Amino acid sequence: MKPGNHTFSVSEFLLLGLSEHQEQQPLLFGIFLSMYLITVVGNIAISLAIVSDPHLHTPMYFFLAHFSLTDLGLSSTTVPRMLVNIQAHRHTITYAGCLCQIYFFLWFIGLDVFLLAVMAYDRLVAICHPLHYTLVMSPRCCVLLVVMSLILAQAYSLTHTLLLAQISFCTDSIIPHFFCELLPLLKLSCSDTYANRCVLTYWGGALTILIPLLIVISYARIVAAIVHIPSASGKWKAFSTCSSHLSAICLFYVSAIGVYFIPSSADSASKDRIAAVMYAVVTPMLNPFIYSLRNRDMKSALKRLLSRTALQSP
């Protein structure tokens, strides 16, 4: 079959969603609307607290503010569209809309991964080289690290999207997912997807193997440094600054591994949907709680933000 003959035969895709049972749609709408509102409020509150509180104008919280906004963008790429589809009883998405959704979804996923690596590096410098921390993690360095993360995430997303735009799709346009995801789309193609899969393997290896390996090495050095801290209170303080970040890393990568590393089965589509809900919806919702509940400075900043908001309200 020649690829060029069917490039524009598909003008839209049908998203099966999380469930094909109509009686479950109102329940799913309520659950995901609630989760999305919690995500929006939580991540915006974290960002506003960091921006408005001078005590949090440090590299660690600078990266956390960007991470919160990235999580908000990641959730906003998929959930609102799904809610509209449920409410309108129309589960289609145009070809251009599908490519657009994939572009932003991959961009925010890549940015999440790179920011997690940057935050691990920040903790490494803070705990292993405390005397040089302010010199190494200067404002210029922090901005440069975020800009580099943005550029790398852009390269990751744009490469996949441009390659996806070159392949053709046959008459089967049903995506067994609640948003346009890369792997299900590649399975629908009637073109040769060798280049797409090679790029997916290389980038996937970088994002799911190389960067986690660098994070593990960073935390191995951090643990070694914490062990040599003489006082118990010093050890606890050093560990507490890393525990939230470690929790976020574990939550993100465990769900990602569920998609890309667990062998396919007869119920592979359902497994992929559940794993995608974990890293694209649940993780962005939980991260504000992870970073605030055990962080005294963040809790104080949030209380001050709420107090100022209450005083300014009529």
Residues 126-177: tens digit of each pLDDT: 999 989 999 999 999 999 999 999 999 999 999 999 999 998 887 678 888 8
**Banded pLDDT at 32 (limits 50, 70, 90):** very high
Residues 114-123: tens digit of each pLDDT: 999 999 999 9
Whole-model pTM over 0.85: yes
pLDDT at 236: 82
Work out the average pLDDT over 223-229.
87
Work out the average pLDDT over 63-92.
93
* CATH of 13-298 among 1.20.1070.10, 3.90.226.10, 1.10.1670.40, 2.40.50.700: 1.20.1070.10
Whether residue 5 is predicted with pLDDT greater than 50 in this model: the reply is no
Buried residues in 50-75 as b, exposed as e (16+ CB within 10 A): beebeebebbbbbbbbbbbbbbbbbb
Whether residue 4 is predicted with pLDDT greater than 50 in this model: the reply is no
Q: What is the average pLDDT value for the chain, to the nearest integer? A: 86
Whether residue 239 is predicted with pLDDT greater than 70 in this model: the reply is yes
Whether residue 111 is predicted with pLDDT greater than 90 in this model: the reply is yes
How far apart, in Å, are the Cα atoms of 260 and each of 200, 254, 313?
A: 11, 10, 48
Residues 276-307: tens digit of each pLDDT: 888 889 999 999 998 887 788 888 888 888 88
Work out the average pLDDT over 65-90.
93
- Work out the percent of the chain whose per-residue pLDDT is above 70: 91
Of 1 and 226, more confident: 226
**Among 115, 78, 106, CA closest to 163:** 106
Angle at 64 between CA 58 and CA 66, to 5 degrees: 110
Domain boundaries, the chain: 13-298
Q: Which two tokens stand for residue 147?
A: 């800009």
Whether residue 232 is predicted with pLDDT greater than 60 in this model: the reply is yes
Residues 45-59: tens digit of each pLDDT: 999 999 999 989 999
Work out the average pLDDT over 229-240.
80
Whether residue 2 is predicted with pLDDT greater than 70 in this model: the reply is no
Whether residue 10 is predicted with pLDDT greater than 80 in this model: the reply is no
Whether residue 266 is predicted with pLDDT greater than 60 in this model: the reply is no
